[in-house]
Structure 1
Amino acid sequence: MSNASWPTACQVLIVGAGPAGSAAARWLARAGWDVVMVDQQSLGRDKVCGDGLIPDAHHALERLGLLDRVMAKAQRSAHVGCIGPRGGRIDVPGHLAVLPRKTLDEILNLGAQEAGARFIAPARFEAALEDAQGRVRGARLTIDGQAHEIAADWVILATGAVPKALTAAGMCERHTPSGVALRGYVRAPALVDEIKALEVVWCKAVQPGYGWIFPAPDGTFNIGVGVTDSHRDLAGKGKKKDVNLREIFDAFVAQYPNAQRLMAEGELVGELKGAPLRCTLKGARWTRPGLLVSGEAAGSTYSFTGEGIGKAMETGLLAAEAILAHRTDDAKVREAYEQGLRALQPKYDLYERGNRVNRFPWLADLLIWRAKKSPRLLARMSGVLNETSNPGNLVSLKGLTRLFLE
């Protein structure tokens, strides 16, 4: 798209073409709205992520009409293998898949364009355009190095965990992330029949966090480590703790046999890459007049599991639905969207309680030990994965007491 054809106005401008932005764009465009979606990177971008698609992601993709396209390219799996510090393991059943974000985001982006949304990249958000009353009326962008303005009735900011755009829009409340992660892809066809589950490993080497190995398509594996609470918040400007992700990754590989074998026998594809995480629906204002914040920019990732793809799409759909329901009534759109996020907040709080397992890996040993003896507990763990059970209850005092009674 050339300078002469860049749009100067639309009904909804979506900044960020990841899961949240693309989901909102497809939903609005299918309803006949004039949508422009912009992103700093062109189609086919890489994104640091575990790539796991758990049931909430399946549900959101089904609503969007894109589940079959995604699953046609994804690597399916029937279990999450939970491995404790002492090597105990329990396989928790669920509807699961793995698809690299480069492919997933492309499917979502093209799905939005297919519905009628226009896409511009590379385009960097510089600032919000405001009217005399301070309501956001569009955005000032840099497209291919040139300044450009797009007027819009609504702006949805879905720019991920990096806070630069949030800060420029006056929406950032916490500049530092909730956690950090490092991942790489390893091609190891010989291990495809041996590592079939999405393996999540708790050990002291990754405390407070976990390591993972997820089987991806075409004989590759997504391997990584995630560390929660990686920054201490000091009056909104966090200070990074003493965290060296590469050292933690190397320690994880040295400690966990499957990781050691994967790195020894497989071929690293590309390089290891790190990224921040924003969790628990905290760290940013959700709305201001004319603007909604969605996806990981709003903190849509769960702190306990690190899962964020499904929740990002869910918040994007909430933003789109609020706009469709109330159109030009700014107060009602914002209230509807904030009400939708508030309805999710208790679940995020419970997953934050479940985050104790990352801080105290011995809890994983205890849960695995009891789950092997208790079908009811295994069912509850499966419920956490499927979001039908409360993860906080598993590691509460009452929940821990129940482990010895079931």
Structure 2
Amino acid sequence: MTAAPTLLRSSCDVLVVGAGPSGSACAQWLAREGFDVVLVDQHNFPRDKVCGDGLIPDAHAALQRLGVYAEVQAAAQRVSHVACIGPRGGRIDVPGSLSVMPRRELDDILCRAAVRAGARLFTPVRFEAPLREGGRVVGARLKQGDAVVELRATWLVLATGAVPKALLASDVCERQQPSGVALRGYVKNDAMVGRITAMEVVWHQKLRPGYGWIFPCRDGVFNIGVGLAHSHSKMKDGRRTMQDVNLREVFAAFTECYAPAKALMDGGTLQGDLKGAPLRCSLEGAKFSEPGLLVTGEAAGSTYAFTGEGIGKAMETGLLAAEALVAGRRRQLPDAQVRADYESRIRALKPRFDLYEKANRVNEHPWLADLLIWRAKRSPAIVRRMSGVLDETSNPGHLVSLRGLTKLFLPIR
């Protein structure tokens, strides 16, 4: 996708900042409903994005709502299982509706769909600050090249991802530090095609309190990485600071403790550099709204703490923002009621995010993965519950709660 033309108009109904999954989903839905939508991003598309690239059922559901599921699936690597691998090498394959697609390709499809729906895309454009009048956001100051443009909008939607700069500029940032961090690379290794066919997630003492993954893409390319949840849990002078963990060292440990990761790296060719990125999880770290402004996607913390999966919930929260604005226009609701509607929709998701926080103890105590895998091998019911975690019909917290752990020791039925 080539860069859009220079910003000319001085106003629009909704200005969406950030053309990733959340922003593009929001922009497309609003444009479908007849809103005059301007979508801006600081990068030209297609552009790279650090991610595990895994699409689980919630992402598939959002893609279907957005009308791009078939297009994505035609280009994605379909996968039938998530392989959960414990420190002792135990493995259980959990079935699910899954696929893998590099974010460079996925985000471009979503962005183009927003444009087809009628959203006007401008890139590369940097968000500088919101415009305010009478205590309400009424647009934004944007920078395109050397030109600074003030674009007025009835609503501003921030879908700016995990980097907090835009949140800080808008006075909606409640925590600058990320919830977690990740490091990933792409490796081409044709010899591993057929050997790694599932989305493999690995827990090991050497990776604690994180995990490693290998996800198969197309054409002999694999996404390999390591993630660390609660990366900034240490407190110093009243502020959260990064744990004493070097992600590159964790990545090296992954290739040492997990034989397929070593084989992949030793016999493959790294495509580009290893790249790191912050994560904002558990719907925490930012206000969801201010007068005239909504925050959505990973800027609002839409990534799950336990799995690091965020693509599906980013799109879902972007659609929630759009739905609240559509309902507000149809019912001619005042600003405060639109914001209350959006926040209630977001907060309805919070209990599930909290359950993933509970399940995150597996990352901190990898032996729990060994126990769960050992038990799952002997109990189809537990495998079904694990599959239910993927498609959001089962509670992830129950698997590693005190009650859940107690059940693991009960006789098999």
Offset of 1:300 from its aligned partner?
0.2
Distance 2:234 2:261 in 1: 33
1:354 aligned onto 2:359 = yes
Q: 1:371 — aligned with what?
A: 376
CA offsets per residue over residues 158-200 of structure 1, 9 Å max, x none? 0000000000000100000000000000011221111100000
Q: Secondary structure at the match of 2:173?
A: coil
Offset of 1:138 from its aligned partner?
0.3
| Pick aligned residue for 1:388 from 371, 390, 393 | 393
CA offsets per residue over residues 294-348 of structure 1, 9 Å max, x none? 0000000000010000000000000000000012521121011100111000000
CA offsets per residue over residues 48-88 of structure 1, 9 Å max, x none? 00000000000000001110010010000000000000000
Q: 1:315 — aligned with what?
A: 317
Distance 2:102 2:8 in 1: 30
TM-score by length of 2: 0.96
Distance 1:93 1:104 in 2: 23
Pick which of 283-292 and 225-234 moved more: 225-234
| Pick aligned residue for 1:340 from 318, 334, 345 | 345
Q: 1:137 — aligned with what?
A: 138
Q: 2:277 — aligned with what?
A: 275
Matched residue type, 1:88: G
Q: 1:103 — aligned with what?
A: 105
Q: List alignment gaps of at least 5 residues for structure 1.
A: none
Distance 1:116 1:55 in 2: 27
Q: 1:194 — aligned with what?
A: 195
Q: Secondary structure at the match of 1:231?
A: coil
Q: Secondary structure at the match of 1:170?
A: coil
Offset of 1:232 from its aligned partner?
2.6
Distance 1:282 1:6 in 2: 36
Q: CA RMSD in A?
A: 1.1
Q: 1:299 — aligned with what?
A: 301
Q: 2:82 — aligned with what?
A: 80
Distance 1:164 1:6 in 2: 25
Q: Secondary structure at the match of 2:348?
A: helix
Q: Secondary structure at the match of 1:226?
A: strand
Q: How do 1:178-257 residues align onto structure 2 when only pairs under 5 Å count? A: 178-232=179-233, 234=235, 237-257=239-259
Matched residue type, 2:33: A
Q: Secondary structure at the match of 1:156?
A: strand
Distance 1:176 1:46 in 2: 23
Offset of 1:7 from its aligned partner?
2.5
Matched residue type, 2:59: A
Offset of 1:32 from its aligned partner?
1.0
Offset of 1:240 from its aligned partner?
1.2
Asked whether the equivalents of residues 174 and 236 of structure 1 are also in contact (C-alpha less than 8 Å), the reply is no
TM-score by length of 1: 0.98
Distance 1:39 1:169 in 2: 17
| Residue correspondences, number | 404
Distance 1:303 1:129 in 2: 33
1:403 aligned onto 2:408 = yes
Offset of 1:21 from its aligned partner?
0.1
Matched residue type, 2:140: A
Matched residue type, 1:342: R
Asked whether the equivalents of residues 277 and 301 of structure 1 are also in contact (C-alpha less than 8 Å), the reply is yes
Q: Secondary structure at the match of 2:99?
A: strand
Distance 1:164 1:191 in 2: 40
Asked whether the equivalents of residues 5 and 122 of structure 2 are also in contact (C-alpha less than 8 Å), the reply is no
Q: 1:166 — aligned with what?
A: 167
Q: 2:58 — aligned with what?
A: 56
Distance 1:44 1:400 in 2: 45
CA offsets per residue over residues 121-180 of structure 1, 9 Å max, x none? 11111111011x210000001111321111000010000000000000001000000000
Offset of 1:233 from its aligned partner?
6.1
Distance 1:369 1:78 in 2: 21
Offset of 1:29 from its aligned partner?
0.4
Asked whether the equivalents of residues 175 and 238 of structure 1 are also in contact (C-alpha less than 8 Å), the reply is no
Distance 1:334 1:108 in 2: 25
Distance 1:10 1:72 in 2: 35
Asked whether the equivalents of residues 55 and 101 of structure 2 are also in contact (C-alpha less than 8 Å), the reply is yes
Distance 2:305 2:146 in 1: 37
Asked whether the equivalents of residues 56 and 310 of structure 1 are also in contact (C-alpha less than 8 Å), the reply is yes
Asked whether the equivalents of residues 173 and 236 of structure 1 are also in contact (C-alpha less than 8 Å), the reply is no
